[in-house]
Structure 1
């Protein structure tokens, strides 16, 4: 019975997102594209060392940040590990909240067939004039970079 309820819930979620369905075939490729091992500052924070100059990285659904982890149920924690590593442009502490899921896309790592959904987070910092939107992909693993407009924790 639990499996039936879970399956029906998943189908309802995917159907609800059908109106927003857009393929997000990232510039990084489909599926896992990670080339460098992930490092940690602590168990809740990734160590990010490489800045990108790609203004679409994380800001557009077609180039979502690939944190991975859905297969071992660490996807949501990996999203938080990434966001916890970010600082504002002048080293300000950031806050964030999850706006929701959106943007169905094809992935060989999907939990239901070959499909996944991106998570949209709103990120802000004290003194900032805007709340920025970042798209995160917990199904696929890619190299983790510091998005344009952010810096990262060093310790």
Structure 2
């Protein structure tokens, strides 16, 4: 059974590599959470040089610690372009990538849908809890 699951995961990984829009592999029924629910990271002050940082599955924010709490803490560190308070919820997982910190060497990226007052369409933020890298502000967001 484990071998079968492994081959299915490999097939999904290979099939999703060529698509521009990531396929969400799992979904969540988490309720909407506001940025006030979590203590933000205080040390995020710079923008990434990568214009797609956190905005697609190939360039996820890497919060590490194997903790969903760190994902929410990161999102709680952000505000809209004019300081708007964010609301967010986990939409699912996608975009497998190689990681020595995950089960069987392949990690998934969690996808969060972010909204704030005045935003026409939700923005998706891609976050990995398996690995850690210096945290930055994604394009279009400011520090809370």
Q: Do Structure 1 and Structure 2 share a fold, with TM-score over 0.5?
A: yes
Give the TM-score taking structure 2 as reference length.
0.74
Q: CA deviation at 1:100?
A: 0.3
2:85 & 2:10 partners in 1: Cα distance?
34
Give the whole-Å Cα distance in 2 for the aligned partners of 1:132 and 1:108. 29
Q: Which residue number corresponds to residue 22 of structure 1?
A: 17
- The 3-state SS of whatever aligns with 2:121 is coil
Q: What 5-or-longer segments of structure 2 have no aligned partner?
A: 19-37
Q: 1:136 aligns with which of 121, 124, 127?
A: 127
Task: Tell me if the contact between 1:22 and 1:105 (Cα under 8 Å) persists in the aligned partners.
Answer: no
The answer to whether the aligner puts 1:114 opposite 2:105 as a matched pair is yes
Give the TM-score taking structure 1 as reference length. Answer: 0.69
Q: Give the aligned CA root-mean-square deviation in angstroms.
A: 2.6
How big is the shift at 1:52? 2.5
Asked if 2 retains the 8 angstrom alpha-carbon contact of 1:17 and 1:103, the reply is: no
Match of 1:147 in 2: 138
4+ residue runs of structure 1 moved beyond 6 angstroms? none
Secondary structure of the 1:63 match is coil
Task: For structure 1, list consecutive stretches of 5 or more residues without a partner in the other structure.
Answer: 1-6, 24-42
SS of corresponding position for 2:47: coil
1:57-98 C-alpha deviation (Å, 9 max, x unpaired)? 01121111000012xxxx201100000111000000000111
Q: Which residue does the alignment assign to 1:84? A: 76
Corresponding position of 2:26: none
